Amino acid sequence: MDQRQLFRRHLAQTSESPIGLDITHAAGNYLYDADGNKYLDLIGGISVCNIGHTHPEVIHAIKQQAEKYLHIMVYGELIQSPQVQYATLLSKHLPQTLSSVYFTNSGTEATEGAIKLARRATGRPGIISCNKSYHGASLGALSVMGDEYWRNAFRPLLPGVKRFDYNSTALIEAVDTTTACVIIETVQAEAGVLEPGPEWLTALRARCTETGALLVMDEIQCGFGRTGKLWGFQHYDVVPDIVLLGKALGGGMPLGAFISSQELMQNLMHDPVLGHITTFGGHPVSCAAGMAAMQVLLNEKLVEEVNAKEKLFHSLLRHPAIKAVRSKGLLIAVELDGASHVLNTLRACLEKGLFSDWFLFAPECIRVAPPLTITHAEIEIACDRILKCL
3-state helix, strand, coil in the chain (%, to 5): 40, 20, 40
Kindly state whether residue 246 participates in binding ligand PMP, applying the rule CB under 6 A: yes
Distance, in Å, from the CA atom of 326 to the CA atom of 227, rounded to the nearest integer, reads 12
Residue of minimal Cβ distance to ligand PMP: 107
What residues contact residue 117 under an 8 Å CB cut-off, 6+ apart?
214, 242, 258, 260, 264, 265, 267, 268, 275, 276
| Nearer CB in complex with ligand PMP: 189/354 | 189
Contact between 251 and ligand PMP by CB under 6 A: the answer reads no
With CB under 6 A as the contact rule, the residue among 65, 122, 221, 327 that binds ligand PMP is 221
Cβ-based nearer residue to ligand PMP, 112 or 241: 112
Nearest to 100 by CA among 109, 90, 110: 90
Environment class of 271 (CB within 10 Å of its CB; exposed 0-12, middle 13-18, buried 19+): exposed
For residue 138, the minimal CB distance to ligand PMP (Å) is 8
The stretches of the chain forming alpha helices (DSSP H) are 3-10, 44-47, 56-68, 81-92, 107-122, 139-143, 148-151, 169-174, 198-211, 262-265, 284-299, 306-316, 339-351, 376-389
Q: Toward ligand PMP, which CB reaches closer, 187 or 325? A: 187
Angle at 190 between CA 189 and CA 196, to 5 degrees: 40
Single out the residue of 102, 134, 166, 313 in contact with ligand PMP (rule: CB under 6 A). Answer: 134
x/- site string to ligand PMP, residues 174 to 203, per CB under 6 A? -----------x---x--------------
Q: How far apart are the first and last CA of the chain?
A: 36
Q: Which is nearer to ligand PMP, 319 or 326 (CB)?
A: 326
Q: How far is the CB of 377 from ligand PMP (least distance, A)?
A: 29
How far, in whole angstroms, is CA 76 from its chain's centroid?
A: 24
Contact between 364 and ligand PMP by CB under 6 A: the answer reads no
Q: Is 120 helix (H, G, I), strand (E, B) or coil?
A: helix
CB of 7 to ligand PMP, least distance (A): 20
Taking the least distance from each CB to ligand PMP, the nearer of 358 and 383 is 358
Q: Are 185 and 218 in contact (CB under 8 A)?
A: yes
User: How many binding residues for ligand PMP (CB under 6 A)?
Assistant: 15
Q: Which of 50, 108, 129, 345 binds ligand PMP (CB under 6 A)?
A: 108
Residue pair 310/330 in contact by the 8 Å Cβ criterion? yes
| Candidates 36-44, 104-112, 267-275, 330-338; binding stretch for ligand PMP (CB under 6 A) | 104-112
Between 32 and 150, name the residue whose CB sits nearer to ligand PMP.
150
Minimum CB separation from ligand PMP for residue 115, in Å? Answer: 12
- The least CB distance from residue 228 to ligand PMP, in Å, is 17
Binding site for ligand PMP (CB under 6 A): 46, 106-108, 111, 134-136, 185, 189, 218, 220-221, 246, 256
